[in-house]
Amino acid sequence: MKKKISDLIKKKNKQKIVSLTAYSKNVASILDNYCDIILVGDSLASVLYNYKSTRQVSLEMMIEHSKSVRMGIKKALMVVDMPYNTYRNSKEALKNAKKIISKTKCGAVKLEGGKKIYEIIKTLVKNKIPVMGHLGLLPQSDKTFKFKGKKKIERDRILKDALLLEKAGVFSIVLECVETSLAKLVTHNIKVPTIGIGASKYCDGQILVFDDLIGLNQMNYRFVKKYTNIRNEISKAVSNYSKEVRKIKFPNKKNSY
Specify burial of residue 55 (Cβ count, 10 A radius: 0-12, 13-18, 19+): middle
What Cα–Cα distance (Å) separates residue 249 from each residue in 108, 110, 233, 244?
A: 50, 50, 21, 5
The per-residue b/e assignment along 66-82, b for 16 or more CB within 10 angstroms, e otherwise, is bebbbebbeebbbbbbb
d(CA 164, CA 97): 20
What Cα–Cα distance (Å) separates residue 131 from each residue in 1, 79, 98, 137?
A: 22, 9, 12, 18
d(CA 97, CA 81): 10
Residue 176 phi/psi, 5° resolution?
Answer: -105, 125
176 is catalytic: yes
Which one of 112, 166, 176, 179 is the catalytic residue? 176
The per-residue b/e assignment along 199-212, b for 16 or more CB within 10 angstroms, e otherwise, is bbebbbbbbbbbbb
Which residues carry out catalysis?
Answer: 176
